[in-house]
Amino acid sequence: MSILSWLKRAVAGEPQAPIEFKDDEKQLGSLDMKGAIDAHMAWKTRLQAQIAGESDETLEVAAVASDRNCALGKWIFGEARQGYGWMEEYATLRDAHARFHACAGAILKDAQKGAKDAAEQALKGDLRRNSEAVQLALVRLYAKVRG
């Protein structure tokens, strides 16, 4: 399913399949769309490993909670702000991305203080919803920009 077909299904409230990118759909400016989406989806696995105490990564809550450190965040506050900052879709993406990282930071904080049940619950609920919101907002911005 192409990215635009995925968006149409999402807007219609239909069940979502993974996004597949055609060669001419992979970039929005300098942003690798699939890479950005995959990186945010990988946070679930990274945080699960932190909660279970099975991670070799040393993560800092403040760094994880920041929406400006990842490739998507750098793009949002750089190229995207300059090119699309006036668009409602840009503001929606920026806000959804900030909520995602705040949630990821809170989960990591809970995991580090041993509140595993709270971390697991947030991972399965809030993080999933926030991740989906980032994906949808990114695809909506893409659709608006690409027409």
Q: Label residue 58 by pLDDT band (50, 70, 90).
A: very high
Q: What is the pLDDT of residue 91?
A: 98
Cβ within 8 Å of residue 26, ≥6 positions away: 32, 33, 34
CATH number of 29-146: 1.20.120.30
Residues 6+ apart with CB under 8 A from 4: 25, 143, 146
Q: What pLDDT, on the 0 to 100 scale, is given for residue 147?
A: 79
Distance, CA of 91 to CA of 112 (rounded, Å):
32
Q: Are 18 and 119 in contact (CB under 8 A)?
A: no
For residue range 22-50, list pLDDT tens digits in order: 777 788 889 988 888 888 889 999 999 99
pLDDT for 82: 96
Q: What pLDDT digit, counting tens, does each position of 69-102 carry?
A: 999 999 999 999 999 999 999 999 999 999 999 9
pLDDT given for residue 104 in this prediction: 97
